[in-house]
Amino acid sequence: MSGHVHATQQETERLALGTALKRVSLMLQYPEQLERVEQYRKREARTTASLETRLKSALQSQLEGVRLGLSQLHGALAHAREIGRALRGVRAEREAGLAALEPLGELRGLADEHGQLAAAVEHTRIIMSVRELEQETRDWIEQGELLAAHKNLMELEHSRDSLLLRQHLKDAGNAANLHLIREYFSCAESLAGELAKQLWLVLQRGLGTARRDPAMLVSALRVIEREEGLDALAAERRQSSGFVAPGRPKELQRRCVEVLRQTVSTRVESGQTDTRDDDSLWLARHLDTLQRRILEDLVVVKTLMAQCFPPKYNIFSTTLRFYHQALGAHLQDIVSEQLEANEIVSLLTWVLHTYPSEEMMGHPDLAPEASVEELPPLLSPGEVEALLHKYLHTLQSNVCTWLGKALEAERRDWMRNQEPDTDQHGYFHTALPAIVCQMLEQNVQVASQVSPRLVGRAMTIGLLEVQTFLCRYRAVLGGYRQEHVQNRQLPPFYVQYMTAATNNCLAFKESMRQLLEKRPTFGAPGVEGPSQEATPVPARLPDPTTQLDGIAADACEYLLDEVLLDIEPLLQELLTRAWVSSSRAMDTICATVEDYFSDFSKLKKPYLQELTERAHRRLVSEFVRAAVQRRVSFKGCEERREAAEKMEWEARQLKQLFQKLSHGPLSEDSLSDVIPALAELVRLKDTSMLCLEISGLLHKYPDVREEHIWAVLALRGDATRDMRLVLTECMMQRRAHTSAPAAPPSVAALNFFADIPVTSHLLPQLGK
């Protein structure tokens, strides 16, 4: 061993020497490094001294550790020897004790038997009093003494469970004994059931009990709390011994909460007494009953019942949640029925506004504990949207029906044998605009009870239906006119009711404007959350103004037709041979028109003005039409002069007539001025001036055609090829200068000649 250590030491020294030589050779590779040999030697000496010091410290520490370990080993050995001696003494004493206990075995048996007999005596006493306890407990239950009844019940159950546990521990397989015990104590289970029924009855009447006899409610809750404790003990005993007491766990607290839930559900569902057949407002009354009942119940729960229940029940929040859930289920049942439009509005208004308001869940007596924001909505957004869709669909159908009935009533009024009513300004009118607009306003007001968004959607539907209604109204008005044309004696007040129909258009427009001004924010976000809507609100609401203007224009045309039907024979006399020698035709025409316009005085001013302009244009048009139809041909300059002067005179008659009917001066460019312009062509003596006259006419009336002028020239009776060439040349010059800017024609002259046809075979045919 020592030789091996010596060899190892030598090997170590040899390695150290080799390492040292290698380091020295590395440090002294260059001649100039020899000057620093002394420095290298001192540095290595310091390093060696440091290593030796650290080595000595490490060796010293190791030696101290070895010394301490040896000391502890010596102490442990001494303790082990002492423990061995003690164990040998204990073994000897145990053997001596066992020998001494052998004579006491009989005493142990007697002690066990004594314990069993003592338990049997105790159980016998209980067994003998079971029937007495049973009857006493029933009496307590009937008298409402819940705590006393429960005390007796606990004694019965404790005795039964003790016997069953002893039998279970002694002989769990003996089913006969177990059955015998359970059968004997079967009254305990029946009494527990009766007591539970009494408890649930007290809880079901909890609202009334809290007012009249809160002690009864407290007793019931104390019984439930006792049973919860007994359930916990039974669970512990089951884990320790495997024994399960009959009827455990009773879980009365869970059942208590369930009874409260059922009671709340019954309170909510029992509020409906009427049906739609009994009362058209059954739903509104039912919701009002629910509102009062739920609010009263929650106030009682918060102020009285909360003092009776243990805090762990959190009875107010629990009851609030139960009412919310029961109400939601009840509303689901109501929604599943075929609700009418007014019922849908009542339901949504109540759900979205009344329920969370201060009138109900936000009532000061419930704040701040009542927070419906933390509960799910009574109706989901999808259900709300479905109801809105159904309401809008029903509303659309109802509006269509109402408008149809209003139109039928209006048509019946047209046939009456009396004039229509007049407004405060003396203008004829009927009730139709008021009926329609009042219906729209009512629909808007009803929709506003639900949400601003529904207002826009309801208004859109109403206006769309009004547009459809106006189309029907226009058609019915046209049919009314056709019936009158077939028999002008009927209806007796045709003109008056047509006047009223015309005035109604202005009333419609004004009412629509007022309605839209009252509701300027259609489409504003409302409470309903769904983004997809049954009836989307367009960027612009439907505007019936154009339709109303069209109906008013038709009605004015119908009134004008009535005038024209009377003067049609007189119009046929214009520019005939009889016309030349008599002024009867134009005088009668003017008198007839003036007479009709006295009836039209009940027409509102905008439409009266429009009708006046239409009549003026139509009469001038008929005069020009007579001029181009070649009803007469003048002979000689004198006859042409007289005819031209007569045309100018009658033009002044027409101008004065319509100036009078317009209650003011006509514009300088009156339609009547076209007649004197044509008269100049008839009067013209110097045909060399024909081109100038034609150019003036073309400048003032750009839509006049070549055949119009040629037909007027035909009245002269001296139409020649040269005149035709002059006319053709003038027309060519106009076409050549159409691109050049010209003075705009008057409004009255626009498209005047475009509506006057010229029959080609009436034009003079000139030979080649």
**What confidence tens digit (pLDDT) does each residue in 380-393 have?**
889 889 988 999 99
The pair of three-digit structure tokens given for residue 700, joined into one six-digit string:
């003032």
What whole-number distance in Å separates Cα of residue 330 and Cα of residue 324?
10
What whole-number distance in Å separates Cα of residue 213 and Cα of residue 146?
13
The pair of three-digit structure tokens given for residue 651, joined into one six-digit string:
């033009």
What whole-number distance in Å separates Cα of residue 206 and Cα of residue 222?
14
| Three-state secondary structure call for residue 764 | coil
What integer pLDDT is reported at residue 567 of this predicted model? 93
Please determine, for residue 336, whether its predicted confidence score (pLDDT) is greater than 90: no
What integer pLDDT is reported at residue 501 of this predicted model? 95
Please determine, for residue 342, whether its predicted confidence score (pLDDT) is greater than 60: yes
Q: If you average pLDDT over each of 229-233, 645-649, 681-685, which comes out highest? A: 645-649
User: Cβ of 394: how many Cβ atoms within 10 Å?
Assistant: 17
Question: 0.75 cut: is pTM over it?
Answer: no
Mean pLDDT, range 173-199, rounded to an integer: 76
Per-residue DSSP letter, 149 = H
What whole-number distance in Å separates Cα of residue 517 and Cα of residue 538?
17
**Mutual orientation of helices 130-143 and 146-171 as an angle, nearest 10°?**
150
What whole-number distance in Å separates Cα of residue 142 and Cα of residue 126?
23
Contact by Cβ (8 Å): 185, 156: yes
User: Cβ of 685: how many Cβ atoms within 10 Å?
Assistant: 9
Please determine, for residue 524, whether its predicted confidence score (pLDDT) is greater than 50: no
What whole-number distance in Å separates Cα of residue 305 and Cα of residue 256?
14
Kindly report the average pLDDT of the chain as a whole number: 83
Written as one string, the DSSP assignment of 94-123 is HHHHHHHHGGGHHHHHHHHHHHHHHHHHHH
Please determine, for residue 611, whether its predicted confidence score (pLDDT) is greater than 90: yes
Taking alpha carbons only, the member of 752, 653, 651 closest to residue 697 is 752
Stretch among 362-376, 415-429, 475-489, 573-587 having the lowest mean pLDDT: 362-376
Contact by Cβ (8 Å): 431, 411: no
pLDDT band for position 355 (50/70/90)? confident
Per-residue DSSP letter, 673 = G
Tens of pLDDT, residues 648-669:
999 999 999 998 888 666 555 6
What whole-number distance in Å separates Cα of residue 162 and Cα of residue 156?
10
pLDDT band for position 401 (50/70/90)? very high
Contact by Cβ (8 Å): 414, 362: no
What are residue 610's phi and psi, to 5 degrees? -65, -45
Residue 14 Cα distances to 1, 10, 20, 51, angstroms:
20, 6, 10, 19
What are residue 617's phi and psi, to 5 degrees? -60, -40
Stretch among 61-75, 152-166, 289-303 having the lowest mean pLDDT: 152-166
What are residue 547's phi and psi, to 5 degrees? -65, -45
Please determine, for residue 634, whether its predicted confidence score (pLDDT) is greater than 90: no
The pair of three-digit structure tokens given for residue 379, joined into one six-digit string:
């109706």
380-385 contacts at long range (C-beta below 8 A, 24 or more positions apart) = 381/528, 381/529, 381/530, 382/530, 383/332, 383/335, 384/348, 384/351, 384/352, 384/528, 384/529, 384/530, 385/528, 385/530, 385/532, 385/533, 385/534
Mean pLDDT, range 636-640, rounded to an integer: 88
Taking alpha carbons only, the member of 431, 458, 427, 453 closest to residue 442 is 458
Q: Which residues are paired to 421 by β-bridges?
A: 429
What integer pLDDT is reported at residue 537 of this predicted model? 45
pLDDT band for position 727 (50/70/90)? confident
What whole-number distance in Å separates Cα of residue 556 and Cα of residue 608?
8
What whole-number distance in Å separates Cα of residue 594 and Cα of residue 616?
12
Please determine, for residue 557, whether its predicted confidence score (pLDDT) is greater than 60: yes
Mean pLDDT, range 745-761, rounded to an integer: 68
Please determine, for residue 506, whether its predicted confidence score (pLDDT) is greater than 90: yes
Tens of pLDDT, residues 713-724:
888 888 788 888
Contact by Cβ (8 Å): 123, 155: no
Written as one string, the DSSP assignment of 321-340 is HHHHHHHHHHHHHHHHS---
Stretch among 431-440, 473-482, 528-537 having the lowest mean pLDDT: 528-537
What integer pLDDT is reported at residue 666 of this predicted model? 58
What integer pLDDT is reported at residue 470 of this predicted model? 95
Please determine, for residue 515, whether its predicted confidence score (pLDDT) is greater than 50: yes
What integer pLDDT is reported at residue 585 of this predicted model? 92
pLDDT band for position 281 (50/70/90)? confident
Please determine, for residue 243, whether its predicted confidence score (pLDDT) is greater than 60: yes
Contact by Cβ (8 Å): 749, 614: no
Residue 23 or 481, more confident: 481
Stretch among 313-317, 493-497, 659-663 having the lowest mean pLDDT: 659-663
Please determine, for residue 418, whether its predicted confidence score (pLDDT) is greater than 90: yes
Percent of the chain at pLDDT exceeding 70: 86
pLDDT band for position 174 (50/70/90)? low
Taking alpha carbons only, the member of 510, 612, 623 closest to residue 559 is 612
Please determine, for residue 34, whether its predicted confidence score (pLDDT) is greater than 60: yes
Tens of pLDDT, residues 78-137:
999 899 889 988 888 888 777 776 666 677 777 766 766 676 676 676 667 777 777 887
Mean pLDDT, range 159-187, rounded to an integer: 71
Residue 155 Cα distances to 185, 442, 709, angstroms:
11, 72, 129
Contact by Cβ (8 Å): 317, 421: no
